[in-house]
Structure 1
Amino acid sequence: MRWNIWVDDWQMQCCGDPFSVGSTVSWTLCPADRGWLTRVLGERTAATIDWSEEHHSDPSDDQLRVEGRVTHISAVHAHLERLPGEDACHPVRGVLSPQTDADGWTPDQNDLSFVGYLVTLAVDP
């Protein structure tokens, strides 16, 4: 089976190990934040993402530990905007750019900021 996994830029930069298409990874997953992902990637793409890779939360019943093979990586770059009633900028209207590897330090693209990766993981049932 194949799962689409969200990988935050900051999580990867802090504690993540670089990976590439074809790599076998062992990740802790938690349910994806569909509201946030919808703002960044749109409703259609966000609906395909069930999990987020996680390094920093305390263990909980909704987490899952998996091992799988990376079959696709897209870097996600987004516009940063202040949302109504917010002081901080948030990513919106993201763009996917396929790539062969990920290290957490993908450069920004002009006025688009790198915010993370969308990774397809093949997981044995």
Structure 2
Amino acid sequence: MVSPPLRPGEVDVWLWEWQVAEDRRQVLLGETVMWDLVPMDQDWISKLFADRRSVPLQLDTYAGHSEPADAPEWTRMSGVVQRIEHVSVRYVQPTDPSGTGSVPERGAAVVHTVPSIWPEQPHTGSTTGWIVRIVEAFS
């Protein structure tokens, strides 16, 4: 599935599956949100989408506000949820012999548009996260 291009005032935000599960976070289409965001790990997005997609920001509930030396660059965003994409991927054994565990199959991310992040919709592979498109609110 190809996502529609961003229009002026729209931003894509990554939500990690494990953080959504731990925080029991719910996000719905049409919901107004106010989030503190940090830059997204572009290496991860590149692995999932093989450089076909960019997601600049992430909602990371573990990024520390209190440690100035390690503090990420924060972006406060408020707006309305315009689109939610469920992202799943197959994990494979790494081709690098020094690698351990499994890694996402490069470029094999599968994306489904959903009305909310819960309940989780049927999908292929393992859920890795959601891309939430926000239309920024301007004051």
Q: What is the alpha-carbon distance in structure 1 between the residues aligned to residue 82 and residue 59 of structure 2? A: 16
Higher helix share: 1
Unaligned runs of 5+ in 1: none
Q: Report the number of matched residues.
A: 121
1:120 aligns with 2:133: yes
Higher strand share: 1
1:101 aligns with 2:107: no
CA RMSD after TM alignment: 1.7
SS state at 2:110 partner: strand
- Give the TM-score normalised by structure 2: 0.78
Q: Which has the larger radius of gyration?
A: 2
Cα deviation digits, residues 83-107 of structure 1 (max 9, x gap): 223212222310110110013x626
Change in 2 beyond 3 A, CA 1:61/1:87: closer
SS state at 2:11 partner: strand
1:20 aligns with 2:28: yes
Unaligned runs of 5+ in 2: 1-8, 66-70
Cα deviation digits, residues 1-53 of structure 1 (max 9, x gap): 100111110011112520111011122211011111110122121x3x11011
Does the 8 Å contact 1:77/1:108 carry over to 2?
A: no
Does the 8 Å contact 1:71/1:121 carry over to 2?
A: yes
Alpha-carbon distance, 1:71 to partner: 0.2
Does the 8 Å contact 1:106/1:114 carry over to 2?
A: no
- Give the TM-score normalised by structure 1: 0.86
SS state at 1:100 partner: coil
Q: What is the alpha-carbon distance in structure 2 between the residues aligned to residue 76 and residue 39 of structure 1? A: 13
* Match in the other structure for 1:74: 85
Change in 2 beyond 3 A, CA 1:62/1:20: same
